[in-house]
C-alpha cells in the first residue's frame, strides 16, 4: 500500500449535511422513494437505505462513514502510546521507529487485539501502521537526537540544582550583588575548518562537495566574559603556538587579549592572566567586588588563579559538574549563534578567495565579525534569565528538565522499578519512648532482681490464663456437640415430614441450613473471642477495610505501554559493583 493513497472512487465522500437532507426527504417527503431521492441527489441507493434505517432508530446518529473501526488501537490507546514515546524521548532513551513497531506488536498481543497476520510473522507492526500513527499524532516526528553522555544526563537532577541555587542565593545576599556586578566566563573552540552549509545541486546526485581549508583544522580557544546587564567584555584568544604574535589578533574585537600554548587549550598558568584581564575591565576590588560564575574545570581552580581572584575582590562560584549546557549563560544564548555566524563568514571568505586557506591568523577576524552579531545585549540578558541566575529564579526548571536523570533515581523501600505506588511507611517510635528505653537499659544493673521476680509472676499469670482458655475450649466443644445432636434430630424430623408435604419440606430445609450456618458462625465467633483473636473471614471491620480488587486483574482490562515495558531504569546493584 503506498504511503499517499489515491482514491479511485467517490464513494463515502457525500457530506453529512447532504446525507441528512436526503434522509429527511425519504422520511418526511410525500411519495419520495429511496431510489428517486438517491438518483436526484447522486447518492448510492444502498447507502441511503442504510442511513434511513439508522436515522429512524436514532436521530442523533452520525450520517457519515466510520473508518476507525478498522484501526488496531482506539484513540485512547494510541494516546497512551504517544505519551509513553514522548516521555521516553524526554528521558534521553527514545525509541526508534523499529522499536516502536515492536512495542505496538507487544501491546496488541498482550491485550488480545485483532492484528494482521503479517504482524505475527515479523513480530512487529507494519510500516503502514507506523506512517498512519505519525499522521494521526502530528506532535510526534522522527528526529535525529544529539549524543549526550550519561554523566551529563544524570548529573542534572533536582538535588544538585537545588544545592546550586541555594548557594547562589546565599552568595548574592551576602555580597549584595546586582546585575551590574554578576559575570559569566566560559571557553569555546573555533577551528580553521568551518561547517559547510546546504547548497543547491542536481537532484539525484550521490555526493556533493564543498571546499574547506583542510581535512582537519587547527584549534583556537576563545574565552568569553559577559555581564548580566548585557555587556560583553573583550574576549581572550588562546592560539596553538609556542609564542604569541600580535598579528594573530588582526580583526579581533577591540582590547582582546591574546595568549598561546602548545595545545591550544586553556591551562592554569594562562587563567591567571584571564583573571587579571577581568579585573582590568570590570574594575573589581575588595571594596566593590564582583561575582564570577564559571564551570569547575581544573584549569580554573589553580592556587594562583584563586589567590589573584581573592586579592582583587573576584568571588568565584562554580556550576555543578556536567550541567553547563543548562546553567551556563554563554552556552544558552551566545555561543550557538556565534558558531553559526562564524561558519557563514568562513564559507563566504572561501568563496571570495578561491585557492586560499583559512589559517589561525584569520580566525580572530572571523570571530570578531561573528562576535558583533551574536554577543548582543538581548542575547546576553536572555542567557542570564533562562537559567535563573539574574533575575534570580530557582524554579525556572520544570520537572521535564530532570527526566533524563530519572533513570538513576532509587525507588522507595517496597516499591518496584516501574510502579508508581509507594509502600506504606513503617511506624516510627516516639522519641520520648526511645529515651525511656535508654534510661531503662541504664538502670538494669540496679533493678535486675526486680525484673526476674516480675518475670516469674508473669509466667504464673500466663499459665493461669492458658488453663482458663483450655476450660473455655472444652465448654465450647460440648456446646458444639449439643448443636450437632439437635441438628441430627431436626434432620430426622425433616425426613419424616418430607413424605407428608414435600413442598413444605424444601422451605424448612432452607431455613434449617440458614440456622445451622448462623450457629456455626456464632460458635466460631465465641471461640475466637475466648481466645482473644478475631477471624477476618467473619470480622465486619476487616471486611469493610479490605482493599478492592485491582483493576489489572479484571478480565478484559487494557495493559498500557508503561505496564508492558516500563520506563528506563538503571540497575543500582550493577553500578555499585562497577
Residues in contact with 280: Cβ distance below 8 Å, sequence separation at least 6, in sequence order:
none
Place of cell 546493584: 573
CB atoms within 10 A of CB 465: 11
pLDDT score of 49: 92
Which secondary structure element, helix H or strand E, spans residue 340, and what is its range?
helix 335-352
Do 315 and 395 sit in the same domain of this protein?
A: yes
Q: How many angstroms separate the CA atoms of 126 and 141, rounded? A: 17
Last residue of a domain, one of 363, 381, 406: 406
Q: What's 321's domain CATH number? A: 3.30.420.10
Residue 377: how many CA atoms within 13 Å on its side-chain side? 5
Q: How many angstroms separate the CA atoms of 220 and 181, rounded? A: 29
Last residue of a domain, one of 364, 383, 406: 406
Do 191 and 131 sit in the same domain of this protein?
A: no
Is 110 inside any structural domain?
A: yes
Is 434 inside any structural domain?
A: no
Separation of CA 508 from chain center: 65
pLDDT score of 576: 36
Is 365 inside any structural domain?
A: yes
Last residue of a domain, one of 383, 406, 429: 406
Residues of the chain with pLDDT under 50: 1, 412, 416-452, 454-461, 465, 467-470, 472, 479, 481-483, 486, 488-489, 492-555, 572-578
Q: How many structural domains compose the chain?
A: 3
Is 487 inside any structural domain?
A: no
Q: What's 33's domain CATH number? A: 1.10.10
As separate numbers, helices (DSSP H) first and strands (DSSP E) second, the chain gives 22, 6
154 in Cβ contact with 404 (< 8 Å): yes
pLDDT score of 556: 53
Alpha helices in 501-560 (DSSP H): 502-531, 540-544
Quote the DSSP letter at residue 201. -
Quote the DSSP letter at residue 84. H
Is 186 inside any structural domain?
A: yes
Q: Let me know how long the chain is.
A: 578
pLDDT score of 348: 95
Do 88 and 55 sit in the same domain of this protein?
A: no
Do 186 and 74 sit in the same domain of this protein?
A: no
Q: What is the strand order of the sheet 219-227 is part of?
A: 257-261, 232-240, 219-227, 182-191, 290-294, 314-318
Torsion of CA 295, 233, 269, 293, to 10 degrees: -20
Do 312 and 343 sit in the same domain of this protein?
A: yes
25 in Cβ contact with 10 (< 8 Å): no
Is 382 inside any structural domain?
A: yes
Nearest to 253 by CA among 369, 171, 138, 157: 369
When computed from its CA atoms, the radius of gyration of the chain, rounded to whole angstroms, is: 41
Do 91 and 120 sit in the same domain of this protein?
A: yes
pLDDT score of 134: 94
Do 188 and 263 sit in the same domain of this protein?
A: yes
Which secondary structure element, helix H or strand E, spans residue 270, and what is its range?
helix 268-282
User: For strand 182-191 and strand 219-227, is the pairing parallel, antiparallel, or unpaired?
Assistant: antiparallel
Is 347 inside any structural domain?
A: yes
For 174, the domain range is 158-197+212-406
Q: Residue 277 burial (CB < 10 Å; 0-12/13-18/19+)?
A: buried
Is 527 inside any structural domain?
A: no
223 in Cβ contact with 190 (< 8 Å): no
Do 29 and 163 sit in the same domain of this protein?
A: no
Q: How many angstroms separate the CA atoms of 276 and 161, rounded? A: 30
pTM: 0.65
Do 107 and 236 sit in the same domain of this protein?
A: no
Do 138 and 175 sit in the same domain of this protein?
A: no
Q: How many angstroms separate the CA atoms of 343 and 363, rounded? A: 11
Do 368 and 346 sit in the same domain of this protein?
A: yes
Do 120 and 256 sit in the same domain of this protein?
A: no
Alpha helices in 127-212 (DSSP H): 127-136, 150-155, 158-175
147 in Cβ contact with 320 (< 8 Å): no
Amino acid at each position: 500500500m503506498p504511503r499517499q493513497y489515491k482514491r479511485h472512487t467517490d464513494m463515502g465522500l457525500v457530506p453529512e449535511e447532504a446525507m441528512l437532507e436526503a434522509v429527511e426527504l425519504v422520511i418526511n417527503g410525500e411519495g419520495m422513494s429511496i431510489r428517486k431521492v438517491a438518483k436526484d441527489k447522486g447518492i448510492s441507493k444502498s447507502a441511503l437505505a442504510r442511513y434511513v434505517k439508522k436515522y429512524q432508530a436514532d436521530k442523533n446518529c452520525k450520517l457519515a462513514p466510520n473508518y476507525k473501526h478498522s484501526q488496531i488501537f482506539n484513540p485512547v490507546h494510541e494516546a497512551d502510546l504517544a505519551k509513553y514515546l514522548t516521555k521516553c524521548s524526554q528521558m534521553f532513551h527514545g525509541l526508534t521507529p523499529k522499536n516502536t513497531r515492536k512495542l505496538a506488536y507487544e501491546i496488541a498481543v498482550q491485550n488480545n487485539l485483532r492484528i494482521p497476520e503479517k504482524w505475527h510473522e515479523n513480530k512487529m507492526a507494519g510500516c503502514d501502521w507506523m506512517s498512519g500513527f505519525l499522521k494521526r499524532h502530528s506532535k510526534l516526528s522522527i528526529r535525529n537526537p544529539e549524543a549526550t553522555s550519561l554523566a551529563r544526563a544524570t548529573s542534572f537532577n533536582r538535588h544538585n540544582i537545588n544545592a546550586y541555587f541555594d548557594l547562589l542565593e546565599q552568595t548574592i545576599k551576602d555580597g549584595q550583588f546586582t546585575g551590574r556586578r554578576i559575570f559569566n566566563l566560559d571557553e569555546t573552540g573555533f577551528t580553521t575548518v568551518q561547517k559547510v552549509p546546504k547548497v543547491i545541486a542536481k537532484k539525484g546526485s550521490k555526493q556533493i562537495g564543498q571546499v574547506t581549508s583542510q581535512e582537519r583544522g587547527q584549534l583556537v580557544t576563545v574565552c568569553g566574559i559577559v555581564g548580566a546587564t548585557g555587556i560583553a567584555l573583550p574576549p581572550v584568544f588562546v592560539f596553538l603556538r609556542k609564542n604569541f604574535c600580535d598579528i594573530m589578533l588582526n580583526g579581533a574585537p577591540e582590547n582582546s587579549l591574546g595568549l598561546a600554548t602548545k595545545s591550544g587549550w586553556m591551562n592554569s598558568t594562562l587563567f591567571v592572566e584571564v583573571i587579571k584581564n577581568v579585573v582590568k575591565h570590570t574594575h573589581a576590588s575588595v571594596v566593590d567586588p564582583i561575582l564570577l560564575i564559571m564551570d569547575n574545570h581544573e584549569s580554573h581552580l589553580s592556587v594562583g588563579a584563586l589567590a589573584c581572584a581573592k586579592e582583587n575582590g573576584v568571588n568565584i562560584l562554580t556550576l555543578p559538574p556536567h550541567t553547563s549546557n543548562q546553567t551556563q549563560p554563554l552556552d544558552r544564548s551566545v555561543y550557538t549563534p556565534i558558531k553559526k555566524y562564524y561558519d557563514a563568514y568562513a564559507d563566504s571568505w572561501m568563496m571570495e578567495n578561491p585557492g586560499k586557506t583559512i589559517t589561525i591568523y584569520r580566525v580572530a577576524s572571523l570571530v570578531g565579525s561573528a562576535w558583533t552579531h551574536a554577543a548582543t545585549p538581548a542575547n546576553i540578558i536572555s542567557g542570564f534569565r533562562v537559567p535563573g541566575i539574574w533575575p534570580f529564579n530557582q524554579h525556572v526548571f520544570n520537572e521535564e528538565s530532570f527526566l533524563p536523570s530519572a533513570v538513576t533515581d532509587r525507588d522507595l523501600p517496597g516499591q518496584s522499578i516501574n510502579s508508581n505506588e509507594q509502600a506504606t511507611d513503617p511506624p516510627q517510635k516516639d522519641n520520648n519512648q526511645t529515651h525511656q528505653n535508654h534510661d531503662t537499659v541504664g538502670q538494669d544493673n540496679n533493678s535486675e532482681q526486680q525484673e526476674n521476680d516480675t518475670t516469674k509472676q508473669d509466667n504464673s499469670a500466663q499459665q493461669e490464663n492458658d488453663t482458663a482458655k483450655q476450660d473455655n475450649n472444652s465448654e465450647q466443644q460440648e456446646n458444639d456437640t449439643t448443636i450437632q445432636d439437635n441438628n441430627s434430630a431436626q434432620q430426622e424430623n425433616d425426613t419424616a415430614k418430607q413424605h407428608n408435604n414435600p413442598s413444605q419440606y424444601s422451605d424448612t430445609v432452607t431455613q434449617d441450613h440458614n440456622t445451622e450456618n448462623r450457629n456455626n458462625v456464632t460458635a466460631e465467633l465465641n471461640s475466637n473471642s475466648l481466645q482473644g483473636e478475631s477471624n477476618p473471614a467473619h470480622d465486619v471491620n476487616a471486611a469493610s477495610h479490605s482493599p478492592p480488587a485491582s483493576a489489572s486483574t479484571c478480565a478484559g482490562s487494557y495493559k498500557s505501554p508503561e505496564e508492558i515495558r516500563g520506563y528506563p531504569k538503571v540497575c543500582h546493584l550493577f553500578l555499585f559493583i562497577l
